[in-house]
Amino acid sequence: MEFDVLIVGAGPVGCVLAEQLANLSNKKVLIIDKRYHMAGNCYDETHESGVLIHKYGPHYFRTNDKNLVDYLSKFTEWIEGNYYVTSKYINEYYPFPINRLTINNFFEKKFKTESEVEKFINEKRIKIENPKNSEEFVLSRVGKELYEAFYLGYTLKQWDLHPSKLGPSVCGRIPIRYNEDCRYVDHKYQLTPKFGFTELFKKMINHKNIDLKLNTDFKDLRNENFKTIIYTGAIDEYFNFKYGKLKWRSLEFKYKTFNKEFVQPNVQINYSNDFNYTRSVEIKHVTKQKIEKTVISYEYPTDKGDPYYPIPNEINESIYRKYKLLAEIETKEKNVHFCGRLAEYKYYNTDEVILKALELYQKIKENDK
């Protein structure tokens, strides 16, 4: 097959763009991925124990966008269910994100209303008008005790950086509530693909115009001619690190199998002050797989390995801005489009990158007229 478009990366962005270009514009698309599998970091697979695991950390799909759910529902049925996380502090497990129950347990209070909690927390908060980093953000929302118990140690472990060296958006990802809502995220739709993420994306690109080649690196195809390229890999790598390497954070996962139906009371436990790992995850709580065994994964943050997390701070963002200028020229002159978490160096969730991919498809379609 002669291809109209090369897509580098078979993650969510690559799959959505392939699907749109093939179905709506009748383009012939080649998707490549350097890994042995598709679905990017959303990839899930059956572990040797028979348990379905999320290979690159727990993926909790969430969105407020009904149209997005409708779009993805063409490729999957869903398991509904919210995500519940607890955080260990000394010898107790607290509901996390911080909410009224956390505050009552932690400070040994019996607040019953949001306004009682608000009044109490207002006295704890440090008055900082425009928090410039994650430390200031949390201190300005809940004060020193809760910051030190639940955020400081976790953030140091996860990023190997003090929260004062990270943008406010990092800790700002976590809601803080005065009610008793214990869900990890606020979003209206909290859904898991019934047969897994990999199956969802497989179905999405099941089209006669789409060819997928795994174990194939872009550097081996760089000199071939394609009218359009969509690049979803790391942007610094595309430009041969011309302005230096962007910093990424990675994780090492260790798995333990148990001959029990469940080991943890909920899907995720965070450890701000114990262990070298940040969290333990029992994804069965979310996938609802019926199986006698269970697998817990433990996440050890590291600088080595695949790029998982862009590190949002001023230095990295200024390097990224330089690459972004090069990328804009590449788009104009060579029709290469950069999209996704690695290509835009943005801490995007899956719903956000899928929306970005749908937007990019519209742009490409307009330019094609």
Number of H helices, E strands in the chain: 13, 17
| CB atoms closer than 10 angstroms to residue 39 | 26
CB of 133 to ligand FAD, least distance (A): 22
Out of 89, 96, 231, 338, the only residue in the binding site for ligand UDP (CB under 6 A) is 96
- Is position 58 an interface residue for ligand FAD (rule: CB under 6 A)? yes
User: Which structure tokens are listed for 200?
Assistant: 């969802």
Out of 341, 345, 355, 364, the only residue in the binding site for ligand FAD (CB under 6 A) is 341
- Is position 32 an interface residue for ligand FAD (rule: CB under 6 A)? yes
Distance, in Å, from the CA atom of 343 to the CA atom of 350, rounded to the nearest integer, reads 14
In the complex with ligand FAD, which residue's Cβ is closer, 29 or 342? 342
Distance, in Å, from the CA atom of 247 to the CA atom of 236, rounded to the nearest integer, reads 10
HSE at residue 43, side-chain half, CA atoms within 13 A, is 16
- Decide which of ligand UDP, ligand FAD, none touches 173; Cβ closer than 5 to 8 Å per partner kind: ligand UDP
CB of 58 to ligand FAD, least distance (A): 6
Out of 103, 270, 350, 364, the only residue in the binding site for ligand FAD (CB under 6 A) is 350
Distance, in Å, from the CA atom of 142 to the CA atom of 306, rounded to the nearest integer, reads 34
Q: Name the phi and psi angles at 200, rounded to 5.
A: -60, -50
In the complex with ligand UDP, which residue's Cβ is closer, 20 or 270? 270
Region from 166-174, 205-213, 326-334, 343-351 binding ligand FAD, contact rule CB under 6 A: 343-351
Count residues contacting ligand FAD (CB under 6 A)? 34
Pairing of strands 29-32, 5-8: parallel
In the complex with ligand FAD, which residue's Cβ is closer, 149 or 343? 343
- What lies within 8 Å, CB to CB, of 39 at 6+ separation is 10, 11, 12, 15, 197, 198, 200, 201, 202
Out of 42, 149, 267, 286, the only residue in the binding site for ligand FAD (CB under 6 A) is 42
Region from 59-67, 121-129, 204-212, 288-296 binding ligand FAD, contact rule CB under 6 A: 59-67
- Decide which of ligand FAD, ligand UDP, none touches 323; Cβ closer than 5 to 8 Å per partner kind: none
Distance, in Å, from the CA atom of 333 to the CA atom of 286, rounded to the nearest integer, reads 45
CB of 309 to ligand FAD, least distance (A): 6
- Decide which of ligand UDP, ligand FAD, none touches 348; Cβ closer than 5 to 8 Å per partner kind: ligand FAD
Torsion over CA: 311, 316, 317, 319 (sign):
negative
Name the residue among 225, 235, 206 with its Cα closest to residue 329.
235
Out of 15, 39, 171, 281, the only residue in the binding site for ligand UDP (CB under 6 A) is 171
- Decide which of ligand FAD, ligand UDP, none touches 76; Cβ closer than 5 to 8 Å per partner kind: none
Distance, in Å, from the CA atom of 19 to the CA atom of 40, rounded to the nearest integer, reads 16
**E strands, the chain, in order:** 5-8, 29-32, 44-46, 52-54, 62-63, 78-80, 85-89, 92-96, 189-193, 210-213, 228-231, 248-258, 268-271, 279-281, 294-302, 309-310, 336-338
Name the residue among 124, 130, 128 with its Cα closest to residue 106.
124
- Decide which of ligand FAD, ligand UDP, none touches 171; Cβ closer than 5 to 8 Å per partner kind: ligand UDP
Region from 35-43, 163-171, 273-281, 322-330 binding ligand FAD, contact rule CB under 6 A: 35-43
- Is position 340 an interface residue for ligand FAD (rule: CB under 6 A)? yes
The residue assigned the tokens 């430009």 is: 239
In the complex with ligand UDP, which residue's Cβ is closer, 107 or 308? 308
Q: Are 37 and 211 in contact (CB under 8 A)?
A: no
- Is position 158 an interface residue for ligand UDP (rule: CB under 6 A)? yes
Q: Which residues bind ligand FAD (CB under 6 A)?
A: 8-14, 32-35, 40-42, 56-61, 217-218, 232-233, 251, 308, 340-342, 348-351, 353
Site for ligand UDP, rule CB under 6 A: 87, 96, 150-151, 154-155, 158, 170-171, 173-174, 270, 272
